[in-house]
């Protein structure tokens, strides 16, 4: 059962890594909101962490990479840094968890070392979940707050993009992966602390055999009586 959970954790880890990279690369973090009568609905604006894109009817999409990081708003700047950290954490978590599985030949089949490695991998998965959830939630909160702000113009309001929903789903996958890895660690830890009955029986059998083959040596008084 534990081996199957380890395989499931590795699969979910790969999905989490792919989702984190895709969420970071997509330009659809904030999209234009079509509200009001004066908006041109034939034009759509996408704003991401690395570029913004314009799409118009009967025209192909045009994307432009930001000339400077300072062009981004504060929440997008923080999101860019945290998402890069999240990608690195998921990759490290996947590598560490792979080294801690039973089928891996790392740590020279030392169960204690593998358990520590598995616990470290699960903790890194939970940390990567936070580094993914925080920027996505921060940008989403800012978009919603500005959307319902009556002092802002309708043309400046934005809606939640698909990348935010992908980020929320990816953070959930990373959370589940971390829980599964830590559950496998607790199971293996409990088995490690249990006494092995086979070793106890072998030790007892060894003592019995030693007692069977123990020879009785005559005492010195017996030898004296024989000579007398």
Whether 225 is covered by a domain: the verdict is no
Q: Looking at residue 163, what is its pLDDT?
A: 92
* Torsional sign, CA 15, 17, 20, 26: negative
Q: How many CB atoms lie within 10 A of CB 40?
A: 11
Domain that holds residue 181: 2-194
State pLDDT tens for residues 179-214: 999 988 888 777 655 554 444 444 455 554 444 444
The CATH number of residue 82's host domain is 1.20.140.150
Whether 206 is covered by a domain: the verdict is no
Q: Looking at residue 211, what is its pLDDT?
A: 47
Contact call for residues 145 and 1 (beta carbons, < 8 A): no
Q: Looking at residue 71, what is its pLDDT?
A: 82
Whether 111 is covered by a domain: the verdict is yes
How many domains is the chain built from? 1
Per-residue pLDDT of the chain (228 residues; tens, 9 = 90+): 677 888 888 899 999 999 999 999 998 898 886 665 554 556 778 888 999 888 776 667 788 888 888 888 888 999 999 999 999 999 999 988 888 776 666 655 666 777 788 889 889 999 999 999 999 999 999 999 988 888 877 777 888 989 999 999 999 999 999 999 998 888 877 765 555 444 444 445 555 444 444 455 555 554 445 444
Whether 168 is covered by a domain: the verdict is yes
Whether 136 is covered by a domain: the verdict is yes
Whether 83 is covered by a domain: the verdict is yes
What distance separates the 2 farthest-apart alpha carbons in the chain? 132
Q: Looking at residue 227, what is its pLDDT?
A: 45
Cβ contacts of 52 within 8 Å, gap of 6 or more: 27, 45, 46, 63, 64, 66
Whether 220 is covered by a domain: the verdict is no
> What values do phi and psi take at 187, rounded to 5?
-65, -45
Q: Which two tokens stand for residue 76?
A: 């997008």
Contact call for residues 45 and 53 (beta carbons, < 8 A): yes
CA distance 99 to 119: 11
Burial (CB < 10 A; 0-12, 13-18, 19+), residue 174, is buried
């Amino acid at each position: 059962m534990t081996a199957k959970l380890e395989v499931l954790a590795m699969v979910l880890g790969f999905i989490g890594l792919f989702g984190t990279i895709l969420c970071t690369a997509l330009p659809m973090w904030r999209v234009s909101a079509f509200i009001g009568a004066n908006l041109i609905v034939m034009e759509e604006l996408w704003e991401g962490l690395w570029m913004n894109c314009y799409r118009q009817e009967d025209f192909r999409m045009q994307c432009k990479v930001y000339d400077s990081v300072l062009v981004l708003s504060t929440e997008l700047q923080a999101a860019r840094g945290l998402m890069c950290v999240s990608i690195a954490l998921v990759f490290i978590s996947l590598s560490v968890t792979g080294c801690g599985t039973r089928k891996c030949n790392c740590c020279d089949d030392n169960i204690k070392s593998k358990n520590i490695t598995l616990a470290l991998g699960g903790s890194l998965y939970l940390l990567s979940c936070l580094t993914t959830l925080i920027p996505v939630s921060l940008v989403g909160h800012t978009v919603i707050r500005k959307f319902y702000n009556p002092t802002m113009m309708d043309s400046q309001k934005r809606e939640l993009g698909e990348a935010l929903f992908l980020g929320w789903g990816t953070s959930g996958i990373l959370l589940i992966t971390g829980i599964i890895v830590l559950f496998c660690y607790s199971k293996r830890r409990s088995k490690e602390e249990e006494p092995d009955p086979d070793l106890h029986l072998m030790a007892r059998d060894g003592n019995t055999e030693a007692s069977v083959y123990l020879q009785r040596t005559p005492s010195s008084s017996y030898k004296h009586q024989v000579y007398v």
